Amino acid sequence: MVNWQPLILTFQLAALTTLLLLFIGTPIAYWLAHSRSRIKPVLEALISMPLVLPPTVLGFYLLIAFSPSGAFGQWLDEQLGLQLVFSFPGIVLGSMIYSLPFMVYPIQAGFARLSPSLREAAYVLGKSRRTTFFKILLPNVKASLLSAIVLTFAHTIGEFGVVLMIGGNIPGQTKVASIAIYDEVESLQYGAAHTYSLVLFAITFAILLIVYWVNGQHVKSWER
């Protein structure tokens, strides 16, 4: 009998990470698209780090930072009752850092592609910055938002190193599908490994297919 728990946990992790990143990533993307600040390159470099750094490096530092024997980990535990090492909240936080560029960059590119006169036209019509953002800018980067959401979701499903380092392998807590596959292969349970792999393969392919299909339709409907 196949244990579905790792797969369910994987999708819970991916969904929560994507949702939280959408709220954090959109303002960052908007700021990056319009800012001429001197610290912008620094921020861009930091956000891009997970693209090039081995996930184990990120996981290692997070492990040290959140370890209950360290000062910060102790403070989190005492003040907020938050244990980030070997726990579900910990792997959510790790995934958020790891997937941040996949949320930020598509949205940033979307905002940067919009003509600046759209924003200015709304201002001249007396609309506030807030109204302009929600009624004009955000609806016009819909396609970018969709790609960002899907990329983040899919990327989080495929995550392995960060989760393993900071979360370990606790069933129901941190044992996501990618780790379960590794675990099954280690103990020569190829049948179970096949099941997990195939399900991940099929579901991620289906998600991406739907998105590209919808995106194509969307573009057409605007050109009509």
- Indicate the residue among 15 and 118 with the shorter CB distance to other proteins: 118
- Indicate the residue among 142 and 194 with the shorter CB distance to other proteins: 142
Instruction: Spell out the residues 6+ positions from residue 166 whose beta carbon is closer than 8 angstroms to its own.
Output: 59, 62, 63, 66, 84, 85, 86, 90, 91, 94
x-marked contacts with other proteins along 102-141 as a string, rule CB under 8 A: -------------x-xx-xxxxxxxxx------xx--xx-
x-marked contacts with other proteins along 195-224 as a string, rule CB under 8 A: ---------------------------xxx
- Indicate the residue among 143 and 199 with the shorter CB distance to other proteins: 143
The count of chain residues that interact with other proteins, using the rule CB under 8 A, is 20
Q: How far is the CB of 24 from other proteins (least distance, A)?
A: 24
Cα separation, 163 vs 157, in Å, equals: 11
- Indicate the residue among 80 and 124 with the shorter CB distance to other proteins: 124
Q: How far is the CB of 138 from other proteins (least distance, A)?
A: 9
Annotate 9-70 with DSSP letters as a single string: HHHHHHHHHHHHHHHHHHHHHHHHHH---TTHHHHHHHHHHHHHS-HHHHHHHHHHHH-TTS
**What are the phi and psi torsion angles at 93 (to 5°)?**
-65, -45
Quick one: which of 187, 166, 184, 167 has its CA closest to 175?
Answer: 167
Q: How far is CA 217 from CA 31, 53, 94, 211, 214, in A?
A: 29, 36, 35, 10, 5
Q: In this chain, which of 40, 142, 194, 218 binds other proteins, going by CB under 8 A?
A: 142
Q: How far is the CB of 120 from other proteins (least distance, A)?
A: 5
- Indicate the residue among 22 and 136 with the shorter CB distance to other proteins: 136
The residues that touch other proteins, with contacts defined as CB under 8 A, are 115, 117-118, 120-128, 135-136, 139-140, 142, 222-224
